[in-house]
A and B are shown apart, each in its own frame.
Chain A
């Protein structure tokens, strides 16, 4: 009887364990509602996964634009944070989503969220980037060659390195 028990337990537990490992990462994120013009801002998410996270990216675009660009999100111990360039005053809103990929290339992404760009005072809690070094070293990567060689003019290019799509 005991000889049967161990294989039976293995058969019971193994599929569950394998299934867990096959699950893509889970992205927990509190969406930002608004931000202010001309100031880089930061968005964070907690990404849990059974496997290791290979990369986490913050995709964004000016509302109405066709193509997204992205910035890589940096691991901060528990959460991943990415810094986006400050939107120009004329930019009404920004759309973004977060995507994580684990080391088995299983992707997971959030919904697309919309951040309104409002004047200071009207937007009460803009998620501004407090770290000046991060605000001065934003690396934006294009996702389509039609995005050209410069950052969308809906954003302030100060401190931004734009990487065109190859």
Chain B
């Protein structure tokens, strides 16, 4: 099948994008923390709403962790009035996503504005079902915190679902860093505005606000600006005069007043109580058969315990922002001092979201709300008093924005990955013996003799020639003959004396030569030295001295080679023992053995890697013991390099070169090839959400450079899925002997939650045709 050449023409096989097992159908909308798609579950063949956290937010482990905790908590709830979470998983870039029930209909906010108008009993019926869902959630210890008409969904069949459970918290948190809309302020409870502890009763206040809005057509605490809304929420009574006159509305009034009580203790304590009162109202006031049917079908769960409050959320600060259809808020992070506004930053804990992660199990003891850390400022209610609040808020916002900008300016942009130069390992001790520093032995000037004449002249010349030739016996004999002919010949006397010295030196040389032949380097050396002392001009002594020096050098080399072989054997033994100790989880002993190897060979790559792994495992083991955890800790474990060479095995018999089945190449064993693929992974034991990276090295343990081919292969296998790379160019093309050099740097990735298996396979080829493979596994 060929690749389509014209990308501008429609491709027949136009597949959709995928996230996990979901095929993206179309965008549905976007929330504060990411995007929502209509997606198709290809395995179960159903459409879902897929909410994917934006990768930019997923980078923040705190936000991500909160998203995960909440998604998991909500996922455990199953109730007809709560949107159902089908699935929770992670995209390959680490972003979490939630697959949810795909709802068909419209949200309450839109429904309220569309004809035909809802009847009061329809409105109350919706609220009862919302309370039914909240009752279930509160019993599970989950507070919604962002109950508003836009989060209530009315399906085409009339059923009611609460949406954005838990995610709303994440939305709030995420928005603190970006300064965008996080929700409407009109439905916030007094304790939320004041930054006090928040529990399920805050949701009930929000439901009271919705009920008021449904009944009156206006929000109970709406005002033109945010601070005025907050003031109204914390100080003013809702304007109940807006509720239409009539018996049915009058009967609703006590319920509304109780729901909107500023004091927590005066408010409905549970969604169940609230729902029961409304159900009674419906029983008394509903006239339509459909509402009666709803009532009959509605099964309220009586709470088995008080709704569990969440953790303290102090230090709330409010920052006006743009409006969606009402005023909106951004909630800054907890300030360093009480009541002080601080700039926000991504990932900061917020007043609203601070407790999101800590859902309290049913049956937990109710916590008494603590005093607000940012005290509400009780003032008389005249409208003029709102202005100072607004002015102060704006001033503080300016300070906050300035601080935020300052904080942002301090955030250095992410550095590009450091370019890894070849990283030489410490140079091992020299493996060859240096040439002796002493200069080579040279002969001293030989004695010279005067020209001879007269009747002994011929004998003197013969003696002199024999002397120069090193034939001392013949020189002595000729000199003696010359002296017999001419007893006073001074030249003959000199030649005789020197030739007799030469004879002695020659005797020493012969003895030293014999010692050298026996391998007695010391005896030979001493004899040669004596010969040179006697006759430094003697060429025989000089030549012997040179041969002795060469023999000494060779002996030294032999000794070094033996030492090296012994050391290599010892290193092999120590590494074997160390690996065995590490396998037996005796990490201390293993580290000691690796250290011994490193003393013998400071740059031994296997020992360095082994020691590093053993240390990591030791730390993890200690951490496990410390926490008495029985959880299995996974970490990166490098494999062993497999090498395969393709050098010629020997001459191919003539005529067989092209014969089928005859392979003139033969593989070599790994031990014969000097390359080792090593890994450096950090952190050694990544957890979900951790950023991790891997650097792959090639270590050359041989004596010749390794030249790498232009391409290498990297395949990552995650949970059985192969993610192969294209042919990649190694970072280094030549690795010098005794060095290790980076060949591949995997950019930082986010460790995916729920990863069960992870392996990175590396294959390197050399220009000679050798292949090295190794794998890094997470076990």
Q: How far is the CB of B263 from chain A (nearest CB, A)?
A: 38
B747 touches A76 (CB 8 A): yes
Residues of B within 8 A of A113 (CB): 17
Q: Given A66, A78, A105, which contacts B718 in the complex, CB threshold below 8 Å?
A: A78
| A75 close to B (CB within 8 Å) | yes
Bound CA–CA A99/B7 (angstroms):
9
Contact with B along A93-116 (1 / 0, CB 8 A): 000001101001111111111000
Q: How far is the CB of B107 from chain A (nearest CB, A)?
A: 20
Quick check: which of A4-12, A54-62, A152-160 contacts chain B, the rest being far away? Answer: A54-62
Q: Given A28, A54, A75, A130, which contacts B91 in the complex, CB threshold below 8 Å?
A: A28
B722 touches A59 (CB 8 A): no
Contact with A along B322-360 (1 / 0, CB 8 A): 000000000000000000000000000000000000000
| A92 close to B (CB within 8 Å) | no
B1 touches A107 (CB 8 A): yes
A124 touches B17 (CB 8 A): no
B16 touches A53 (CB 8 A): no
B416 touches A131 (CB 8 A): yes
A28 touches B1 (CB 8 A): no
Residues of A within 8 A of B414 (CB): 130-131
Known: A105-B2, A143-B6. A127 touches B55 (CB 8 A): yes
Residues of A within 8 A of B54 (CB): 124-125
Q: How far is the CB of B375 from chain A (nearest CB, A)?
A: 33
- From residue 26 to 51 of chain A, which have CB atoms closer than 8 A to chain B? 26-31, 33, 44-51
| A133 close to B (CB within 8 Å) | yes
Bound CA–CA A48/B715 (angstroms):
10
Contact with A along B697-741 (1 / 0, CB 8 A): 000000000000000011110100111111110000000000000
B8 touches A67 (CB 8 A): yes
Interface-central residue, B2, B54, B713, by most chain A CB under 10 Å: B54
Interface-central residue, B8, B722, B724, B726, by most chain A CB under 10 Å: B726
Q: How far is the CB of B744 from chain A (nearest CB, A)?
A: 9
Residues of A within 8 A of B34 (CB): 125
Known: A76-B746, A79-B93, A124-B178. A105 touches B1 (CB 8 A): yes
- From residue 9 to 35 of chain B, which have CB atoms closer than 8 A to chain A? 11, 13-20, 24, 27, 30, 32, 34-35
Bound CA–CA A84/B180 (angstroms):
27
Interface-central residue, B7, B16, B714, by most chain A CB under 10 Å: B7
Give how many A-B residue pairs fall within 8 Å (CB-CB): 144
Known: A28-B19, A124-B180. A49 touches B722 (CB 8 A): yes
Q: Given B14, B16, B35, which contacts A33 in the complex, CB threshold below 8 Å?
A: B35
Residues of A within 8 A of B194 (CB): none
Interface-central residue, B11, B54, B92, B746, by most chain A CB under 10 Å: B92
A70 touches B7 (CB 8 A): yes
Contact with B along A118-140 (1 / 0, CB 8 A): 00010011010011110000000
Task: Give the interface size bracket for B toward A.
Answer: 35 or more
A109 touches B15 (CB 8 A): yes
Contact with A along B167-181 (1 / 0, CB 8 A): 000000000001010
Tally chain A residues at the interface, Cβ within 8 Å: 54
Residues of B within 8 A of A121 (CB): 180
Bound CA–CA A128/B92 (angstroms):
18
B6 touches A26 (CB 8 A): no
| B491 close to A (CB within 8 Å) | no
A33 touches B18 (CB 8 A): no
B16 touches A78 (CB 8 A): no
A28 touches B3 (CB 8 A): no
Q: Given A51, A130, A143, which contacts B724 in the complex, CB threshold below 8 Å?
A: A51
| A162 close to B (CB within 8 Å) | no
Q: Given B30, B35, B723, which contacts A46 in the complex, CB threshold below 8 Å?
A: B723
| A77 close to B (CB within 8 Å) | yes
| B413 close to A (CB within 8 Å) | yes
Residues of B within 8 A of A49 (CB): 722-724
Bound CA–CA A130/B411 (angstroms):
13
| A52 close to B (CB within 8 Å) | yes
Residues of A within 8 A of B4 (CB): 107
Bound CA–CA A125/B16 (angstroms):
22
Shortest Cβ distance from A147 into B: residue: B8
Bound CA–CA A65/B615 (angstroms):
58
Bound CA–CA A46/B92 (angstroms):
6
Shortest Cβ distance from B694 into A: residue: A77
A28 touches B416 (CB 8 A): no
B32 touches A133 (CB 8 A): no
Q: How far is the CB of A11 from chain B (nearest CB, A)?
A: 24
> Can you name 10 extra interface pairs (CB under 8 A) apart from A70-B7, A110-B16, A127-B55?
A28-B19, A29-B17, A29-B19, A45-B17, A51-B724, A52-B725, A110-B15, A110-B17, A111-B15, A131-B416
Q: What are 27 A-B pairs at a CB distance below 8 A?
A: A26-B18, A28-B17, A28-B18, A28-B19, A30-B19, A33-B27, A46-B91, A46-B93, A48-B721, A49-B724, A52-B713, A67-B8, A68-B7, A70-B7, A75-B728, A77-B716, A77-B723, A77-B749, A79-B92, A105-B1, A107-B3, A109-B11, A109-B13, A109-B14, A110-B15, A111-B14, A144-B6
* Minimum-distance CB pairs A-B, first 9: A46-B92, A77-B746, A75-B725, A125-B54, A29-B17, A110-B17, A52-B724, A48-B721, A76-B747
